[in-house]
Structure 1
Amino acid sequence: MDFHDSDAGRRIAYEFTPGTSPAVVFLGGYKSDMQGTKAVHLEDWAQATGRAFLRFDYSGHGASGGTFEDGCIGDWAEDAQSVIEAVTEGPVLLVGSSMGGWIALLLTQRLADIAGLVTIAAAPDFTEDGFWADFDKGQREAIMQDGQLALPSEYGDPYIITRRLIEDGRNHLVLRSALELPFPVRLLQGTADTSVHPDRALKLLDHAASPDMRLVLVDGADHRFSDADCLALIESSVEEVIARAEEDA
């Protein structure tokens, strides 16, 4: 494991596998880390095929510095951009899982050379369309007055939703204005996902503009999207996007 110190003063833990271009970059979800099943599986695939690969922890996540509750979408997008630009060379293929799908969409508008994009249960704008939209009046008042709100999570400790997370999220929404993705895009989504409804994937498909974008719905797959079939689909989708990008080069 290595560490990158960003210009913003945040220490980001990462693992980089050298190899052929484009480098595949895995962007994890909200409160997830780079030790997750999908990230490690893709690293194993990259090492077996000689492909450059980067996985990392946002600040406040995993082995990186900082406190989770202090972070927000803008910070985590900056973390991702900083470590990608510091560690990789040439084009990158972004693989974004859940919140990482939102981060990846932000990065497509910031990074100089994107070969393609694969999202897994992408959750763009979830702070506004998920958290805030679902809060009742009392919860909204609590988060504005107290600065945070604890929500139960089926994945372990409660989610601490902060006022800063909500307000910063509004500065980084991607489904309210034109979203140009001029490269191959594959959107993967499980129909049994209770964290990110399949309608989200349909909305992204309808909203974004790409010359080669496809949505794959997997019947019965949940938000983890980590069984053997789902992992194989992620792998084949990455390979397909690389092949299409090379055809278009």
Structure 2
Amino acid sequence: MDFSANVLLAAGASPAMVNAVEEAEGFTKISSALSINVGTALTPHWIKAMELAASTAHDCGKPWVLDPVGCGATAHRNEQCAMLMERRPTVVRGNASEIMALANACKVEVVGGGSAGGGKGVDSTAGSEEALPAGIALAKRFKCVIAISGAVDIITDGSTKVLIRNGQEILTKITAAGCSLSTLCAAYCAVCNSALDAVTAAFLHFCIASDMTAEMVEVKGPGTHRVHLIDNLYNLSSAALADRAKFEVHEL
């Protein structure tokens, strides 16, 4: 939670990290967006809080983002991720293995897709392009945006795909890097009517900041990258973002 909160603060958002079921509905109602990360939080108390928060966001018309961490690892995790999908997230962000496993857990029909995948957190066993058919199927079934992190990030709403070619492989060596990107997607959804545009902007902000961090001579590995990434998220200008952005938009 610490890293995600700092990423949000650096980007100009105002985070509240809540897990009490007694506060789930209230905090969701006063927030502009919601991010749910299943992470290590699949005990009965946390599940109830996540379900209540997601249902409240949906009922109130607030955007919310699901990060299905480790989907595919266990039957219990698959079941809870599928349950949360029924609460209609605005955005789902995961790696390729998680997205393929989520499609399998939700029993969606995938045309031309790979195997179901196995959730391994940042250690995805598949590439983003391999997971695109699953992402498209999920996007169409649940009318949401699916963001697949990888060497090339892919974002789709089922009819359009955006390829992001910024970002650094070292992010896979930093715990909670992907989780914090999911929260950043929620922050952008709070201020942008188009979820596809919001997620694209969030990915570019995060990935370009990582590119800038990798260029710093004082960055020697994951530890120093993590620290200076926060600084670059904070200092990144709109002009630098526009100059460095490497993305493509394709109709499906």
Could you tell me the TM-score, scaled by structure 2's length?
0.34
Identify, as 1 or 2, the structure richer in strand: 1
